[in-house]
């Protein structure tokens, strides 16, 4: 009888000490699953989906897009020339950061372009299988007056390359003026 009481007391002590420890371990497991889910959600926000979220939030045409950590910064030009910076977070939520009433004439070639940012990204990716879009810029080259999309793509090995996409034909060509070994620290 005395032996059963000692075993019962030892079991109760083990549960008392082990219960909180087990709960802590279970909570740690839940945190790990939550972190993994959040990381997976962040990985799903591509340049293409950030662009779509920004345009849904603020209609117009994308002028530029770049990634800063887990946040995408997207400049959207409305048909009336208003320049709005939209941030798209790691969950795909878009918020307006800043709006400027710029001169709409400055953006006339961008607004009239047959190939928009979405089509330019698709052309750059088609020419660089397995790469991801890292940034997008509408460029009106002051040197020779030409306009084009400058799409920075990042390969799976981390190397980057700039691709110029013609805003009329959609033809993608590797840039010879930009270095292919940019060492951007943005993730």
Check whether 90 has a pLDDT greater than 60.
Answer: yes
Greater confidence, 70 or 8? 70
When comparing pLDDT for 115 and 3, which is higher?
Answer: 115
Strand spans (E) along the chain? 61-68, 71-77, 82-88, 94-101, 132-140, 147-154, 160-165, 172-174
pLDDT in the model for residue 2: 47
pLDDT: which is higher, 106 or 165: 165
Does this model's pTM top 0.85? My answer is no
> Dihedral of CA 43/44/50/56: which sign?
negative
Highest mean pLDDT among 38-47, 128-137, 142-151: 128-137
């Amino acid at each position: 009888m005395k032996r059963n009481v000692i075993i019962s007391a030892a079991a109760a002590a083990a549960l008392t000490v082990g219960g909180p420890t087990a709960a802590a371990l279970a909570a740690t497991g839940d945190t790990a699953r939550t972190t993994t889910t959040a990381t997976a959600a962040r990985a799903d926000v591509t340049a293409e989906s950030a662009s779509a979220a920004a345009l849904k939030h603020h209609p117009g045409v994308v002028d530029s897009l770049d990634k800063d950590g887990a946040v995408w910064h997207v400049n959207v030009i409305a048909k009336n020339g208003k320049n709005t910076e939209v941030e798209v977070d790691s969950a795909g939520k878009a918020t307006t950061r800043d709006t400027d009433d710029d001169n709409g004439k400055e953006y006339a070639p961008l607004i009239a372009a047959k190939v928009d940012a979405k089509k330019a990204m698709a052309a750059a990716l088609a020419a660089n299988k397995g790469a991801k879009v890292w940034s997008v810029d509408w460029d009106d080259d002051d040197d020779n007056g030409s306009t084009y999309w400058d799409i920075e793509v990042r390969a799976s090995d981390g190397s980057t390359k700039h691709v110029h996409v013609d805003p009329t034909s959609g033809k993608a060509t590797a840039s010879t003026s930009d270095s292919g070994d940019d060492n951007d620290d943005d993730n």
